[in-house]
Amino acid sequence: MAAAAEAASPDQTTLYRLLAVIGVLNAAVGAWYYLRITAAMYLRTSVRPLEKGRNVPGLATVWICAALTLAFGVYPWPLVRSAQAALPRVAETGAERAER
Contact between residue 4 and residue 20 where contact means Cβ atoms under 8 Å apart: yes
pLDDT tops 90 at residue 34: yes
Whether residue 42 is contained in a domain is answered as yes
What pLDDT band is residue 16 in, cutting at 50, 70 and 90? confident
Residue 1: pLDDT over 60: no
- The secondary structure of 43-76 as a DSSP string is TSPPSSPPP----HHHHHHHHHHHHHHHHHHH--
Look up the pTM and report it.
0.40
Question: Could you tell me if residue 29 is inside a domain?
Answer: yes
- Residue 53's identity, in one-letter code, is G
Going 97 to 86 to 80 to 65, the CA torsion angle's sign is positive
Structure confidence at residue 3 (pLDDT): 67
| Structural domain count, the chain | 1
pLDDT tens string 43-96: 888 788 878 888 899 999 999 999 999 999 999 999 999 888 888 766 666 555
65 located within any domain: no
pLDDT of residue 94: 59
| Domain assignment of residue 8, given as a range | 1-47
Which residue type does 37 have?
Answer: I
Q: What is the pLDDT of residue 85?
A: 87
Decide if 73 is inside a domain. no
Between 15 and 96, the higher pLDDT residue: 15
